[in-house]
Amino acid sequence: MSIIYRLAGNNEYNQPTVKGSYVGDVEKHFAPYKEHPVVKYVSKLPVRCGFNKPMALAVHLTDAFTLKERVSFKPIPPGLKNSWGSIGIGNARKIIEKSHSFVEETRFKEFIETHQDLYEQTENRMRELIRKDGRLEWFDNFFGPRPNATFNLIIGMLNGGCNYHADFDKGDTKEMYCFLGVWLYDQDGLPRFDKSVLTTVVHEFAHSYVNPLVGVYYKDLQKAGKKLFPRVKDQMKRQAYNDWSFMISESIVGVCEVCYIIETQGPDVAKMHIEK
């Protein structure tokens, strides 16, 4: 999905912070397919069909090769309702339909297999950071245990400084996703991660807890939200946040970040985070 949206010209998937040999390989391999039907279709969609929308769609598919629905899209599943519900799930299905030939014609599987070592090296670097400093047990301590929920951290090799959250629900199980972009690189041009990215990880995972609560208390928050939103409307809309409820969610998630930092790094670091 990142590659398709990059070829389609979406700014959020063409961040200047994306560097290294990988982006060069992507450009070289996929540039001849900029006129593919799925790329042309995505390029004509409204801006709000980008950002987190393709990531949310991706977690509802079996894999990048077969592109089958993990659960039926009729009725629209909860994890897609929040992202594609207002846009129309038909647009998402069109993308899937047109992506089948893209996978085949671009030899997509071959490209992925060629870069498997890079993916594994990148994953291992993130695993080590989470193991040493992640402290993801904070979520259970802060929000309460979720025994049937799993954390899934996906590295967005082409996402640059853009990061996203998504959820996949099936029965009583819930998969919570953080799509973490890459904006730091080592001297060899390989993705690297340090403790500074952990608040972003926490931010995206916190959406899985906060967004449903904003939904539950929507009517209670509506009056204040509508009154405050005009003050930040322009900044929010540039990020495809089109109404007050996104502002409320992002604000609460920001508070969660601070609480996490207080618990894991102390109040002085939290104060610096707030001031920054």
- Domain membership of residue 131 (yes or no) is yes
Position 52, amino acid: N
- Domain membership of residue 236 (yes or no) is no
Per the structure, the complete domain to which residue 48 belongs is given by 2-201
Does 54 score more than 90 pLDDT?
A: yes
What's the confidence (pLDDT) of residue 274?
95
Each residue of 26-41: pLDDT tens digit?
Answer: 999 999 999 999 999 9
- Domain membership of residue 27 (yes or no) is yes
Considering the chain, what percentage of its residues have pLDDT values greater than 90?
92
Are 39 and 73 a contacting pair, CB within 8 Å? no
Each residue of 209-251: pLDDT tens digit?
Answer: 999 999 999 999 999 999 999 999 999 988 878 899 999 999 9
- Domain membership of residue 179 (yes or no) is yes
- Domain membership of residue 235 (yes or no) is no
- Domain membership of residue 192 (yes or no) is yes
Tokens of 44: 């004509």
Each residue of 104-130: pLDDT tens digit?
Answer: 999 999 999 999 999 999 999 999 999
Look at the chain and report how many structural domains it folds into: 1
- Domain membership of residue 275 (yes or no) is no
- Domain membership of residue 208 (yes or no) is no
N-terminal to C-terminal alpha carbon distance within the chain: 32
**Angle made by CA atoms 216, 219, 225, in degrees to the nearest 5:** 105
3-class state of residue 173 by DSSP: strand
